[in-house]
Structure 1
Amino acid sequence: MRARILLVGGLGYFGRLLAAELLRATDADIEIGGRSSRAFAGFRSSFDTDGGRLSFIPVDLANPDAVAAALAGANLAICAAGPYQDLPLTLAEACLSADIPYLDLADDRAFVAKARALARPDGPTFFPGCSTSPALSAALTAIALEGRPPAGTILVCLAAGNAACRQDATIASLLASVGSPLKLRDGSGWRETRGWTEPARFAFPPPVGPRTGRLVDVADHDLLPELFGASSTEFRVAPEFAPLSDVLAAAGAAG
């Protein structure tokens, strides 16, 4: 009997990529949880063949009973239904209740913190935050620090390109930090600033080249000190399109 994976938000950009990879790399049945069966029909037709492994189930994350019903019989649940800023934790809570492994692609600091607070030592495998930030950024930090003493300060800059995906969730995540209060680990305590401020210049090698990055509010500010013992962390984003960065910086400075 094949394993069953529930992928909520599988019709979004990153959900579609993940569904395609799961079909390629596993023999599991992939059940796409979402709100539009019509959109699923178009999504399914984009594959040459799915071997009968793709199906659709209606899921409304605002309805805990519907989430629990969709989760019945699953061996793994994945939440790719961003933006995460206002997303309820119903899928994570249902997974913990049913003892089903859970992961999400969250990049929102508050969402990741709340999801991590739900985890328990005797609970199922639980991986919130499997996005570029904080998962990939933390993995790259671990590689950079391998064989070296603990870092006092960790500086991360995400140099986003113009050709990168511009989906609603990505844009919402980018804009959420603009002018918002932001707490950073600084020495033995925390300091407060605002999102999209404090520019710093980074000399990336070609073809990226020099970029100006500005602070954004991400889960790395909580996780990197915890994982690597850093006394100070700063995470910046540096768009390729400089005028966009300047506009967001002006908005951030205005609060």
Structure 2
Amino acid sequence: MSTSVLVTGCHQPLGHSLARLAALLPDVRLWLAGTPAQHCDALCDTIRQDSPECHVHSVPPEDCLSPASMLTVSGAKLVLHAEGPFTQYTYQMAEACLAAGIPYIDAADRRTFMASFTGALHPLALKAGVPLICGASTSSLSSALLDEIAPQFNHIRDVRVTVIPGVRSLRPGSQLATLLSTVGRPMTVLRNGQKIREMSGRHLRKLSVPSVGRCSSMLCDMPDNETLPPRFPDLETLETRLALPGFLAPRAVWLLSHLRQGLQEESMPHPRGGQRPLTAAEQARLRRGQRMMPWLLKRLARGTSHAGGLIVEAHGDDSMGRPLTRVSSLIASAPEAAYLPILPVIALARQCLEDRASLLPGAYTTPGLLPLRSYMAESKLVQVLLEREAQRTQIVPATIGNETPSKRSVAQTQRTPAAV
């Protein structure tokens, strides 16, 4: 008997990828929610071609406005929430699942959203016996990578987490758009045992990554700043960084951080030191520059590698007290990189579908919940999906005798599936 699973945010890149992968889970009846409705209808058609064994439906547009209506129409027994950006402190979908007694898993990747989740919902979820799981995204993978190398250390002192987005999409809800939304805003960095205020998007650093090439990384506010220190009490320094390939794109982000800071503080550095107020004309120029940045970044990202992943670098000492450095990385080439951030959601969804009792009741975040091998086991589904997509999109031209296929047929034959 199939289980109804509701996937939200299907009109956004993250929800789109999640729905396509969730359709490969055994014995599920998929309900897709998102606006506008034509995006969900088109996605339903795609899933029916790639995963004919899955029954898929779209939630009517009028019911997408209310979480309770979505749950009623779909009859969901599990909710996979991917409708970003996760920037608000309201947890309407999680609260609706709590009221209905339905397990909830989201792909939140914002520190502010995850930081308040447990405190706001854990007592009620624990009393109701409902699992509400937050942050099944990149932070789960980085934490699992660190757990892989942690047994080699006696104490871990310094950690640097670098995220390389595999999809250069700037549409709302995409991984890159979420990370860039923090640029130019203050963040708290743990450095030498003290919390220091820094600006996201600053402190460029060069690095070279296999399959990606030369990159530049910059400070970026991520959930790891909240989730890692409690799990590693000896941690003295923690940096979370965003890396972009090429030379110009990272520097454009650096410029964006200065533009946003200037607009927020309504001041700029004075040549003789200190700050001076912005004039109305200067504020107008800064706003024009800020509006142009997405357009500029989109063009600067063209031609760069679409490989992406995570790099976790740890420093500390071993059992003999000797200095020790270890690097753990997870890099995927395009188009597999588009599915990396949602592997934790799929792994937890599979566990819930097989045995709901295996998920503890309460509201909590995912870092440290499952080992890396559980997440990577779901990469087999990605390979199955990409193979089916290749079969669907590849058109083999029919030739008679020595007839040469047309230029259009050759172009279609050589076409490769694009990343979501």
In the alignment, residue 154 of structure 1 is paired with which amino acid?
Answer: V
Residue 364 of structure 2 corresponds to which residue in structure 1? none
2:59 aligned with 1:57? yes
Counterpart Cα distance in 2 of 1:39 and 1:209: 34
2:220 aligned with 1:216? yes
Q: 1:208 to 1:39 in 2, by over 3 A?
A: closer
Residue 157 of structure 2 corresponds to which residue in structure 1? 152
Which blocks of at least 5 consecutive residues in structure 1 are unaligned?
none
In the alignment, residue 116 of structure 1 is paired with which amino acid?
Answer: T
* Equivalent position SS for 1:74: coil
Residue 125 of structure 1 corresponds to which residue in structure 2? 131
2:69 aligned with 1:69? yes
Tell me the C-alpha RMSD between the 2 structures. Answer: 2.5
Q: 1:143 aligns with which of 127, 137, 148?
A: 148
Counterpart Cα distance in 2 of 1:51 and 1:37: 23
Residue 169 of structure 1 and its aligned partner are, at CA, apart by 2.2
**Structure of higher CA gyration radius:** 2
1:22-45 CA-partner distances (Å, limit 9, x unpaired): 221221111112233332221122
Residue 166 of structure 1 and its aligned partner are, at CA, apart by 4.3
Residue 138 of structure 1 and its aligned partner are, at CA, apart by 1.4
Residue 180 of structure 1 corresponds to which residue in structure 2? 185
Counterpart Cα distance in 2 of 1:58 and 1:238: 39
Counterpart Cα distance in 2 of 1:96 and 1:149: 40
Bigger proportion of residues as helix: 2
Residue 52 of structure 1 and its aligned partner are, at CA, apart by 6.0
2:253 aligned with 1:248? yes
Q: 1:13 to 1:203 in 2, by over 3 A?
A: closer
Pairs within 5 Å for 1:225-244: 225-229=229-233, 230-244=235-249
Contact 2:30–2:54 (Cα < 8 Å) also in 1 = no
In the alignment, residue 124 of structure 1 is paired with which amino acid?
Answer: V
Q: 1:250 to 1:17 in 2, by over 3 A?
A: closer
Q: 1:39 to 1:251 in 2, by over 3 A?
A: closer
Contact 1:34–1:60 (Cα < 8 Å) also in 2 = no
* Equivalent position SS for 1:157: strand
2:86 aligned with 1:84? yes
In the alignment, residue 186 of structure 1 is paired with which amino acid?
Answer: R
Which blocks of at least 5 consecutive residues in structure 2 are unaligned?
262-420
Counterpart Cα distance in 1 of 2:204 and 2:188: 16
Q: 1:226 to 1:58 in 2, by over 3 A?
A: farther
* Equivalent position SS for 1:25: coil
Higher relative contact order (CA 8 A, sep 6+): 2
1:129-178 CA-partner distances (Å, limit 9, x unpaired): 1122x1111111211223422411111112345x6444332343132122
In the alignment, residue 132 of structure 2 is paired with which amino acid?
Answer: F
Q: 1:129 to 1:59 in 2, by over 3 A?
A: farther
1:181-235 CA-partner distances (Å, limit 9, x unpaired): 101223444211111112233343x333443211111111011112223232110
Residue 277 of structure 2 corresponds to which residue in structure 1? none
Contact 1:61–1:91 (Cα < 8 Å) also in 2 = no
Residue 180 of structure 1 and its aligned partner are, at CA, apart by 0.3
In the alignment, residue 80 of structure 2 is paired with which amino acid?
Answer: I
* Equivalent position SS for 2:130: coil
* Equivalent position SS for 1:35: coil
The count of corresponding residues between Structure 1 and Structure 2 is: 250
